Structure 1
Amino acid sequence: MNKLCALFVLAFSTWVLADSTDNEIFLEQSGDTLNLTIDQVGYGNKLCGSISSGACASDMVITGSNITFNLDQIGNSNQLYGPIVLGNSNIDMVFTGDSNVYDWNIGYNTAADNLDLDLAVTGSSNQWDVDIGYNQSATFLNYDLTLTGSSNVFTTVVDSDNVKWDWTITGGNNNFNTMQKDADQLLTATFEGSDGDIDIIQQSGTCPQGISSCSGIINIDITSDDATVTINQKDTGD
């Protein structure tokens, strides 16, 4: 298959390089009010923001506000990497397949406010590492995750105020780790499957001036045999 490299810097230009076994997209975008749709179908697709020996090696930099980003990756051993910085934006992603890698950092260098993120995953033995907000200012996140499959490892760090996060996981031997690190967090979760390993840390963060206590709410429904669930809920200083 050909290697498809797409470079977006306000204006868009594309070029094709031959002699590659995988589909690869190099993406760099700067500017507001973007509607971006990407479909990748097949084995070993890559949407890059590094990697290296497995090819690609950088780009996947999205910066702007009022961005609508729709991505479908269908197939096995696909990979998504890279940092994005955006506000007042919608991200809708669908992944279908096994042994995929998703390593994404949202709002690493600057604020990521008013984000609506929908993520649907169907498959097994996938690895997901999502960091939202990092140490920058981030507020008003609406995050929906649906994961169906077995033996997936899912790690999410949310460093944002006013978060509504709903996730549903169905399947056996899934390992789910999440940390929520700022004020006013609402986590609603449904887990169904055997031998699950769930770790939840929810700490309320720094409250707005004049408010002594910030809310953190966890509502979780578990249907499972041989599950291990650990919940650590606390104020920042405790």
Structure 2
Amino acid sequence: MKLLLISNSTMPGEAYLDYPKNEIKKFLGEKPVTAVFIPYAAVTFSFDEYCEKVESRFAEIGHHVVGIHTFADPVKAIQQAEAIVVGGGNTWQLVRMLRENKLLNPIREKAFNDTPYIGWSAGSNVACPTLRTTNDMPIVDPLGFECAGLIPFQINPHYLDANPEGHGGETREQRIQEFIEVNPRCYVAGLREGTMFKLENDQLELIGERPCRIFKKGQEPVELKAGDDFSFLLK
């Protein structure tokens, strides 16, 4: 498989998709690619607006996207896609629409046959076995928690080490500790903003300057950085 799973789209003070754009370009290669873009995680703005925003950045690096909502047959669009790109937004809404359009299995089949897959935030969540480590409010019934299962571990995108000042609720780490308590065999990777996982040639690597925090029941959380061995997450 060829996966690029990005924690977030935008860093403070930067343009949309600016920090990951060069990694996206390297991942897709020099030959122009037109990817099928899935904008289903958008809730407060239109799919067309989302596609235009992503297309402007992809065009800058010599690639293009076309929205899956513009195809009469979305399953066929995935089956014929050169690459698949899944944008961030609300993961619950995204999974609901992927199910309604019967796209989870076609995405899985294409990815396991080496079609490049790029996702950020919610788009990274749906590459996991389930959506249960998303940060998003469950605004709709997703019709099931299972996702594409392109990787065997869970990602928590936008991972934060502490709550905002003055907030007395649980930290992100406490929420993940709850998850691993009832899912003891599953690893969770706290993927901090400005970082991403790349899976290629059966090698999983972290890209970015910030470390990733790894959780597993019965083990102390560990911090791993770019260049460290992440192969245990694929077993």
- Larger RCO of the pair (alpha carbons < 8 Å, separation 6+): 2
Q: Hey, which of these two has a bigger chunk of strand by percent?
A: 1
TM-score by length of 1: 0.31
Output the TM-score relative to the length of structure 2: 0.31
Larger radius of gyration: 1
